[in-house]
Amino acid sequence: MVTALDNALLAEVLQQVRPLIGSGKVADYIPALAEVPADRLGIAVCTVDGALYQAGDAAERFSIQSISKVLSLTLALTRYQESEIWQRVGKEPSGLPFNSLLQLEMEQGKPRNPFINPGALVVCDMLQTRLSAPKQRMLEVVRQLAGEDDLAYDARVARSEFEHSDRNAAIAYLMKSFGNFENDVLTVLHTYFHYCALRMSSIELARSFVYLANNGRDLQGNAVISPLQARQINALMMTSGMYDGAGEFAYRVGMPGKSGVGGGIVAIVPDEMAIVVWSPELDASGNSLAGTAALELLSQRIGRSIF
């Protein structure tokens, strides 16, 4: 039976998935992330009309990590011709972990898609070329999208990532060796780690990502990108937003989604709503374990999926 969306339903969903906490693993390859309490659990939904529903720790800020890869691609689409972007990064699922180097070497330094680390690093490289202050610009974008003036980077998380950046640096240098990287690697890594270290709550993320449910328009009605571009980003999220867990997520949740190792997941119901869940423990693909279960349950209870 389909249930109406309200705060009580979201609380019920969280209650049902809470027992899963303990079966995943908080990301510890970035020491500052490993300190986040594993029992945090939040969910927020923002509809295209601006109605907001929430439960649990929905107002608590966390590190959005790879969810920022959608925002950097969005920003690149406002600064580049699409052909310029897609000649440097592909649109295919990788089927490999988000930080893998294997495919990148075999495919001459062209990343499979913009949501694995190599793809996001190329997109950051492009932003570094065209924006005079890429970190500041991203803050302006998210503050506008979320309607919150005090959104900021977590300097500790950014620094912690920089101190453990060997693999991302290797990825960037490999792409540079193939001629697919324009700027100084350390400068781009600095920008990339700050984007990952953005701190936002589930509520702020749900408000921010409404543009992908609303044909490219944000909550204030401003056109962030075109309706076609919003559709295209949703398609990429569907096929690549959850890395090597994309097929499993499509099967269980049936919505375009993007995860981050901070434990957040953004999922989109086109023309209706943006949904954000947060639970720091991850599954083997680096996606929130209880968060995925919450989205699976919610999609069934409200009868929503793009299939």
Query: Which residues would be at the binding site for ligand DON (CB under 6 A)?
Result: 65-66, 98-99, 117, 161, 168, 196, 259-261, 286
* Least Å from the CB of residue 223 to ligand DON: 28
Is 173 annotated in a binding site? The answer is no
Report in angstroms how near the CB of residue 135 gets to ligand DON at its nearest: 15
Residue 98 or 211: which CB sits closer to ligand DON?
Answer: 98
Annotation says 69 is catalytic: yes
261 assigned to a ligand binding site: yes
Closest distance to ligand DON from the beta carbon of 206 (Å): 18
Shortest Cβ 41–ligand DON spacing (Å): 18
- Pick 67 or 126: Cβ nearer ligand DON: 67
Is 261 annotated as catalytic? yes
Strand partners, 269: 273
> Which residue lies nearer to ligand DON by CB, 216 or 260?
260
Closer Cβ to ligand DON, 254 or 286, answer by number: 286
Instruction: Give CA–CA dist 88/20, Å, rounded.
Output: 40
Residue for token digits 């702020």? 204
Question: Residues 192, 195, 210, 266: which is the catalytic one?
Answer: 192
211 assigned to a ligand binding site? no
Q: Are strands 273-278 and 264-269 parallel, antiparallel or unpaired?
A: antiparallel
Give the span between the Cα atoms of 146 and 235, in whole angstroms: 23
- Has 305 been annotated as catalytic? no
| Phi, psi torsion values for 117, nearest 5 degrees | -55, -45
Q: Compute the distance between CA of residue 227 and CA of residue 242 in angstroms, rounded to an integer.
A: 23
**Residue among 13, 26, 48, 66 flagged as catalytic:** 66
Which one, 261 or 268, has the nearer CB to ligand DON?
261
Which pair of structure tokens corresponds to residue 173?
Answer: 């240098």
> Please, what is the minimum distance in Å from the beta carbon of residue 11 to ligand DON?
26
Residue type, 126: M
Phi-psi label, residue 130: left if phi above 0, alpha if psi -120 to 50, beta otherwise: alpha
Looking at 13, 63, 69, 253, which residue is catalytic? 69
215 annotated among ligand-binding-site residues:
no
Query: Choosing from 157, 261, 276, 277, which is the catalytic residue?
Result: 261
Q: Which of 141, 243, 259, 266 is catalytic?
A: 243
- Other Cβ atoms within 10 Å of 179 Cβ, number: 10
66 is catalytic: yes
User: Does 7 belong to an annotated binding site?
Assistant: no
Q: Which residues are annotated binding-site positions? A: 66, 117, 161, 168, 192, 243, 261
Query: What are the residue numbers of the active site?
Result: 66, 69, 192, 243, 261
Q: Which residues are annotated binding-site positions for substrate? A: 66, 117, 161, 168, 192, 243, 261
